[in-house]
Amino acid sequence: MQQLISVRAQKFAVMAVVLVTALLAGCAAVELSPHLQPLSKDTLMLLGKKGMEVPSPMFIRIFKEESEFEVWKQRSDGRFYHLKTYPICNWSGGLGPKVKQGDKQAPEGFYRIARSQMNPNSQFYLAFNLGFPNAYDRANKRTGDFLMVHGKCKSAGCYAMTDALIEEIYALARESYLGGQEYIQVHAMPFRMTDANMARHKADQWYSFWQTLKQGYDHFELTHLPPDVAVCQKQYLVNVRLQGGAPLGKLDPEGACPALERPAPVAFTPIPGEQVAATRSVVDGAKMHLFGATAASVLTAARPLYVAPSSTR
C-alpha cells in the first residue's frame, strides 16, 4: 500500500510540476495591453538625465504646419522643460480652427485632457479626446465631436500618430495622471507663432483668432508655464485672473466678462548648469500631411483619408 501511495505521490508531483511549468509558460506569453505598456528604458533614462520625475505634470503643444507634437514635463522649480518633439504622422484639413461637424478640420485652441478622456480601447490603437468643443467653441456655435489624438496614422479631423509614438505619449500621460495631475493642458496651434510666421499669414481670414493664440504661445515661451485661460464674451482671455487675485472659477462663456487683471509674467530662468534639461530631443518619423511632409513620405501624402465612425474612436 505504501508503495502504491508513493507511486501516486510521485505521479501527482510530476503532474504538479508540469502544470506549474505550463502556467509559467502561459504567463510568459501574455503581453500587456497597449495602454499598460511601460515607458521604454531610453525614455526613462532621458527623463532622468533631464531631472524629470515620471509622475510629474506634463504639458502638450501641437503645431500643424510643422506636423510636430511636443511633450513638456514639470521639474522641481515648477517650470516645464522640453522632453520630446514627436512627428505628427497625419492630420486632416488645413490651417485654421475646426468650425463645424464634417469640415474635417483638426482643432486649434486651448484644450484640457482629463483622465476620463483617455481611450484605451480605440480602434485607432490608443486615443485621447482633445475636448472639442470646449467652452470657447460652444460659445461660438462650433460643432463636432470625438476629435482625438490617436494612432494608425489616419485622420479625419484628428491628429494621428504612429502606434509606437501614441503608445509612448499615452504612457507619459497615464503616469502624470497617476501622479495626481487633474488634467493636461494642450495648446493646438496652426504653426509656431513667431513674429515672422504671423507676418507670413497676415492676410489669412483667421489672423485675428491666431493673434489670441499667439498670446498663449508667447506666454509659454517667456515663462515655461501654461497661462490661465478664461472664456467670456465668446473670446479667449489669456493670462488673466479676477481682480484681487481670486481664482477664475466658472465664467459664462457668452456673458459679459467680470473685472479681470493680467498678472505680470515672470520670465523663465533655467536652473544653473542644466544644459541637458534645455536640450531638445526630436524623434524621427514620417509626416504625411503636405505641410510637414518629409522627403520619404511625400509619395504617400496624397493617399485619401480614411473616415472612421466617430463614436468608436
Whether pLDDT at 26 is above 90: no
110 in a domain, yes or no? yes
210 in a domain, yes or no? yes
152 in a domain, yes or no? yes
What average pLDDT does this structure show over 129-157? 95
Whether pLDDT at 310 is above 80: no
Contact 65, 55 (CB under 8 A): no
pLDDT at residue number 29: 53
Catalytically active residues are 150, 158
Whether pLDDT at 305 is above 80: no
Dist CA 86 CA 287 (whole Å): 10
* Top-confidence residue, 2 or 99: 99
154 in a domain, yes or no? yes
pLDDT at residue number 227: 97
Whether pLDDT at 30 is above 90: no
CA distances from 236 to 101, 136, 145, 201 (A): 21, 7, 20, 20
Whether pLDDT at 204 is above 80: yes
Contact 56, 81 (CB under 8 A): no
pLDDT at residue number 250: 84
Least confident of 38-42, 172-176, 247-251: 247-251
Whether pLDDT at 173 is above 80: yes
Count structural domains, the chain: 1
pTM of the model: 0.84
Whether pLDDT at 234 is above 80: yes
The CATH number of the domain where 76 resides is what?
2.40.440.10
Dist CA 172 CA 39 (whole Å): 7
Residue 86's beta-bridge partner residues? 69
Host domain of residue 51: 35-227+270-312
Least confident of 73-77, 186-190, 302-306: 302-306
Q: What are the cell numbers at 87?
A: 512627428
291 in a domain, yes or no? yes
- Phi-psi region for residue 273, left (φ > 0), alpha (ψ -120 to 50) or beta? left
5 in a domain, yes or no? no
265 in a domain, yes or no? no
Of residues 78, 105, 103, 80, the one with CA closest to residue 91: 105
24 in a domain, yes or no? no
Whether pLDDT at 167 is above 90: yes
pLDDT at residue number 279: 82
